[in-house]
Structure 1
């Protein structure tokens, strides 16, 4: 009983400095411990670091270490030969990259987001009209794609034939989703606006990008209403997200497709074909893919010798005339691919292939940027959705590894709607 009461009073956060020192000590002695797998020590040290930072942060920034706990925790497990074996050097670089990323976040560990939860009423009809026109434009572009290219939702390969500008127009409604929880709607109009803003991206096959919109909506809804999301809401959100991931996975690998089937992958890369492997496969491969490609880049000493621009920023040049090649396409040319799509190495591989170890500085810069965005938005309702969009695009960048023009356009659209809503809200909210 005495031990139990003592543990209940123990503040886990107070152990943070000692636990970090212990984690670092484990890392430095790993090389000399011949009886211990160096990879396992680094892996456990990384998981320890992320878990302790998660407990230390008292606000929404805690989602960052939680994201990587799941991402690296699952994807870095060497339980298959998919994309080879994750090397010691790779897990070492992940450790130092994560340390640089979470360090700036700790500067804001005690800051809290405080909002009234009162919905904003839009009284200017021209503001509402602009929102409707934006949605109509996106849907018109979606109908045009289906009429000229085909049913993209049923054939995922068709999405690579969508003109870039048209795809940006269709996906540009996603930042609007983040603002819906702070606006006041009549009856069931919230659901109408939500579906109208989300569905176009799903229909053209960009389910990963669309999921960032779902995340932003749930995030703002939970934070702005000053309440934890109910278990039912969490369950439904996870269920929808998993359905999108699993549907996309098996649809792209259906019979007759260019990608290997689930049965073939399991037979070739796993030692067992039990049911749990099929259940884990879509999530595991999605996370393993980027980490495995990163390990191939690091272990093979691969470099960018096919693109005149660094791959991390190569996509930014595709919007200009001249036919610049996207980073994912270039990486596919370096490593090899089986379809017309590119490869995604994750943030570590995305910076390492051009900048080497110096690319780890990007982690620190992104941590500072994210922390500053949180700080600016923590008490201003119309900036909360902007922060949500930045956070969602941050997660997408972490998975993809290459900067996309879309990240900047999404944030610009979010700031546009922030200013628009500030202009169109009632005088009652003018000072908020």
Structure 2
């Protein structure tokens, strides 16, 4: 066994970084045995050096991350800073100085993954990022390595624990959105500013990364269609229950039937209670991967939190250190297909539409005609009226999203339609 330790620079020491440092210390002997050489935490770059960090030698702490990377003896950098800068510059600096990188930075990888992969490839180094997608759940490596000989056609899953917690509480307790969000905030599942989670930005970044891996093509954050879940209401859940469904915020990535394009989207959707994703509770994540030979695979577990995310980071650290010892590198970017990302309008699925309408004869016929004129076939209709007002719930057969959008715009112009209360896609059937 090699006796000189592999030296690790930790960039960032927040919730995840502090757990990484703790596990590196408490499991040092096990990590040495698994890697074949000792690993040593050689420096910790932070913004606030005065903060007390239990278990970390204050002599290791620095505010100069660039100097830490340039000092000449670092083998691996772990980037858990998050955001675009300075993370991007620090990662490229690491590659320039012969340092492989383990990152948990979904936002950066979704935006600039191609450039970072190219920099790693040019330097003959590793870029690993299991922790960027689904916390502790092994997902990136199985898709990138275990399924490398298969053809993935679809990925659908819950990839944000905060939103799943909120929707689960709305479903199980009848709480409204704000009440469920307040509980998530009080329990530490939601940030003080929950926008990235509830508006789907976090899930969209993860979707971009997963789509690139699944379909061997470059998918950026801007390619992912995104809708948040702030408009989901108790009435939506009541309608879902009547259909034998619940509501989840889903990331859905699909290869077109002809194999010539892909789609990537994040939005709330109704799914049948019989679907495995419907039973994913609290802040857990779960992802379905559908491959040509392997069939349907489900990956389930905690998708966030310091210790679960640190587990994924340490798994990558072990893999990268093993590669260093073997003078090898792991898989890099695979983007040979160069498939175009189709717009949301091309996506074909079912829809649940709730309308507020006048309670008088002929309204249903007028609404049905509008659907027919736009090529959207109706599956079921439920009408409920009182005191001159009525609600009309329409569930369609599968139709292109563009056709549905045109239908909704036409419905809004009808004198008999007071408003479109909600529009939700129906998935997983």
TM superposition score category, shorter chain reference = under 0.3
Q: TM-score, length-normalised on structure 2?
A: 0.23
Structure with higher strand content: 2
Q: Which structure is higher in RCO with an 8 Å CA cutoff and minimum separation 6? A: 1
